Amino acid sequence: MAGSAYRKGMSEGLPPTARERTASLLAGALGSALVMVFLVGGMWLLEVIDYVGGGSLDRYGIVARDPDGLVGILAAPFLHAGFGHLIANSLPLLILGFLAAIRGLGKFFGASLIIVLVSGIGVWLIAPPNTVTIGASGLVFGYFGYVVARGLFDRRMLDIVLGVVVAGMYYSIIFGVLPGQAGISWQGHLFGLIGGVLAAWLLRRRREN
């Protein structure tokens, strides 16, 4: 019994095996996928409710420079201006959100909150007065910035590879941070991207001196 206990204690101090690392990664991937399906599914449910209610939920978006519109900072990412708007955001949100969450749900939720706050406050401050902004594109740009910057700050091989792949796949969305098409919140895109990079920095892996 003593020998058995000793071997157990020794094994607990050893680095994880390749099989354990693979199992952990698969468990993380499954959890990330479920979270994103639930998140996007919730957005679709809200859009159905909004459609049935004649767009009654859209008023809970971010109303620029209106103190009452500050509540929209937390609500706006879950609301959309019709199913076309939601469809355009759903796939990139699923993919980028999944990649952002795969390294840990705790950091993912923290990053999401930072992105929502930075994007929302930026929209509230610089969007045209009294305009209402809704949509998850701030999260899309935020997750893009988070995944790319996380590889730079954490310097883990998996994060670096994911960052390079995401940068190659979605580099063209960077142009969305510039003023362009009417009715598109470039402010939300820009500050969402800034929020993602900031989240990657704040939540980076700390190294011992």
For residue 60, the enclosing domain spans 15-202
What do you get for the CA distance between the two ends of the chain, in Å? 40
Residue 80 included in any domain: yes
- Does the residue 96 lie in any domain? yes
56 found inside a domain: yes
* pLDDT digits 0-9 by tens, 2-47: 444 434 443 455 566 777 767 777 878 899 999 999 999 999 999 9
For position 187, what pLDDT does the model report? 94
Q: Does 159 map to a domain?
A: yes
72-111 pLDDT tens trace: 999 999 999 999 999 999 999 999 999 999 988 999 999 9
Asked whether the whole model's pTM tops 0.75, one would answer yes
Residue 81 lies in a domain: yes
Structural domain count, the chain: 1
Span 70-82, pLDDT tens digits: 999 999 999 999 9
d(CA 188, CA 137): 7
Identify the CATH number of the domain in which residue 184 sits. 1.20.1540.10
pLDDT, tens only, 151-185: 889 888 888 888 999 999 988 888 888 887 777 89
φ, ψ for residue 62 (rounded to 5)? -80, 120
Per-residue confidence (pLDDT) for residue 7, from 0 to 100? 43
CB-CB neighbours of 39 under 10 Å: 18
Q: Is residue 2 part of a domain?
A: no
Query: Does 167 fall in a domain?
Result: yes
In a domain? residue 1: no
Q: Round to whole Å and give the CA distance between 69 and 119.
A: 14
Helices marked H in the chain: 2-12, 18-52, 72-75, 83-101, 105-126, 137-154, 157-170, 186-202
Q: How far apart are CA 15 and CA 23, in angstroms?
A: 14
